Structure 1
Amino acid sequence: MSSEIGDRRGILYPRVLPRFHRRMPPAALAGYVSWYWISQWDLPEEEESVQRILPFPASNLVVERERVTLSGPTTGISHQVLTADGWAFGVLLRPAGLCILGARPDEIVDQQVPLQLDDLVGAVRECMDRDDPAAAAEAMSEWLALRRVEIPRGAELAGRAVELAASDPEMTSVVRLAEDIGVSTRELQRLSKRFVGVSPLRIIRRYRLQEAALRLREDPGLTVAEVAAELGYADQAHLAADFRTTLGFGARGYREET
Structure 2
Amino acid sequence: MPPVSGHPEAIVHPTPGAEAFQVERIAPRRELAEFVDYHWLVRWAVTEPHRQQVVPQPRVHIAAEDGQLLVHGVSRKPFYRTLTGSGHVLGAAFHPGGFRPFLGGSVGAISGTVQPGRTLLGDDDRPSAARILTGTDSAEMIDTFERYLLRTNPVPDPKSREVNALVTEAHNNHTIVRADQLATHAGYSLRTLQRLFTDYVGVGPKWVIQRFRILDVAGVAHSGDRVDWSELAYSLGFSDQAHLTRAFTHVVGTPPATYRRERAG
Query: What range is the shorter-chain TM-score in?
Result: 0.7 to 0.9
3-state SS of paired residue (1:134): helix
Partner of 2:39: 36
Retained in 1: the 8 A contact 2:6–2:38?
no
* Structure 1 residue aligned with 2:220: 215
Assess, with a 3 A threshold, how the Cα gap between structure 1 residues 118 and 63 changes in structure 2: closer, same or farther: farther
Alpha carbons 1:124, 1:136 under 8 Å: kept: no
CA contact (8 A) 1:106 1:198 kept: yes
Write the deviation string for residues 9-60 of structure 1: whole angstroms up to 9, x where unpaired: 211121232111222223432221121111111222xx10001000211111
Q: Residues of 1 paired with 2:184 and 2:99: CA distance?
A: 24
Return the alpha-carbon distance in structure 1 between the equivalents of residues 244 and 2 of structure 2: 36
Confirm or deny: 8 A CA contact 1:76 1:247 kept in the other structure. Answer: no
Residue from 18, 22, 25 that aligns with 1:22:
25
Question: Given that residues 63 and 69 in structure 1 are in contact (C-alpha distance below 8 angstroms), is that contact kept between their aligned partners in structure 2?
Answer: yes
1:203 to 1:253, Cα distance in 2 relative to 1, 3 A? same
| Inter-CA distance 64–118: structure 2 relative to 1 (3 Å threshold) | farther
Distance 1:49 1:12, change over 3 A: same
| CA distance 1:145–1:229, change in 2 (3 Å) | same
Counterpart-to-counterpart distance in 1, 2:16 and 2:134: 22
How high is the sequence identity, in percent, across the aligned residues?
25
**1:234 partner SS:** coil
State the secondary structure of the residue aligned to 1:239: helix
Q: Give deviations 1:153-208, integer Å, cap 9, x for gaps.
A: 44333222222222323321212212222322111100111111111000011111
For residue 121 of structure 1, report the CA deviation from its aligned partner: 5.2
Q: Which moved more, 1:165-174 or 1:199-208?
A: 165-174
Q: TM-score, normalised by structure 1?
A: 0.88
Partners of 1:22 and 1:103 in 2: how far apart?
28
- Secondary structure at the counterpart of residue 255 of structure 1: helix
Shift of 1:139: 2.9
- 1:221-248 deviation digits (Å, cap 9, x = unpaired): 2232233233232221111111122223
Q: Work out the CA distance in 1 between the residues paired with 2:65 and 2:153.
A: 23
Q: Check conservation: 1:2, 1:25, Cα contact below 8 A.
A: no
Provide the residue aligned with 1:112 in structure 2.
Answer: 114
Q: TM-score, normalised by structure 2?
A: 0.85
| Distance change >3 Å, CA 27–CA 231, structure 1 → 2 | farther
* Equivalent position amino acid for 1:100 in 2: F
Distance 2:231 2:25 in 1: 29
Q: The residue matched to 1:179 in structure 2 has which SS?
A: helix
Q: Which runs of 5+ in 1 are unaligned?
A: none
Return the alpha-carbon distance in structure 1 between the equivalents of residues 129 and 5 of structure 2.
20
CA distance in 2, matches of 1:144, 1:85: 27
CA contact (8 A) 2:249 2:255 kept: yes
Change in CA separation of 1:124 and 1:66 when aligned onto 2, cut-off 3 Å: closer
Q: Which amino acid aligns with 1:147?
A: T
Q: Which residue does the alignment assign to 2:65?
A: 64
Matches within 5 A, 1:73-84: 73-84=74-85
In structure 2, which of residues 88, 97, 100 is the aligned counterpart of residue 98 of structure 1? 100
Question: CA RMSD of the aligned region, Å?
Answer: 2.3
Residue in 2 that maps onto 1:9? 9
Q: Is the 8 A contact 1:19 1:41 kept in 2?
A: yes
Q: Structure 2 vs 1, CA of residues 180 and 26 (structure 1 numbering), >3 Å: closer, same or farther? A: farther
Question: Number of aligned pairs?
Answer: 256
* 3-state SS in 1 of match to 2:98: helix
CA distance in 2, matches of 1:172, 1:143: 38
Out of 172, 175, 186, the position equivalent to 1:170 is 175
Q: How does 1:101-250 map to 2 (within 5 A)?
A: 101-102=103-104, 104-116=106-118, 122-123=127-128, 125-127=130-132, 129-250=134-255
Gaps of 5+ in 2: none
Structure 1 range deviating more: 96-105 or 63-72: 96-105
- Maintained 8 Å contact 2:42/2:90: yes
